[in-house]
């Protein structure tokens, strides 16, 4: 009851059938508040708290971390969306 709560939520959002408008969002949440977020449209981390801003500055300086997050759009989002679309949406 008196502890701390940390979670990380990933989202893949799109509305077009060809997935051309796909966006990957990765939220880091502490005690129900997003403190840092990666958004593939922005292409970097954005901090929303003092700790989030500090971490975003550090993480954005790491080209490997940014490359890894950028790759998630294709490897995670589009890959899974294509599977779901084939299995569900393309059925008549």
Burial 5-26 (b: 16+ CB within 10 A, else e): eeeeeeebebeeeebeebebbb
Q: What angle do CA 77, 79, 85 make, to 5 degrees?
A: 95
Mean local confidence (pLDDT), 85-89? 80
Residue 1 has a pLDDT of 61
What does the alpha-carbon distance between residue 40 and residue 12 come to, in Å, rounded to a whole number? 10
pLDDT tens for 3-53 read: 899 999 999 999 988 889 999 999 999 999 999 999 999 999 999 999 999
List domains and CATH numbers for the chain: 6-83 (3.10.320.10)
Question: What's the whole-model pTM score?
Answer: 0.86
pLDDT tens for 30-40 read: 999 999 999 99
Confidence of residue 92 (pLDDT cuts 50, 70, 90): low
């Amino acid at each position: 009851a008196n502890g701390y709560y940390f979670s990380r939520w990933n989202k893949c959002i799109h509305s077009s059938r060809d997935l051309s408008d796909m966006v990957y969002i990765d939220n880091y949440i502490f005690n129900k508040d997003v403190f840092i977020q990666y958004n593939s449209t922005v292409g970097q981390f954005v901090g929303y708290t003092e700790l989030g801003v500090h971490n975003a500055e550090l993480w954005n300086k790491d080209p490997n971390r940014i490359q890894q997050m950028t790759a998630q759009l294709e490897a995670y989002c589009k890959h899974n969306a294509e599977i779901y679309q084939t299995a569900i949406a393309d059925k008549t």
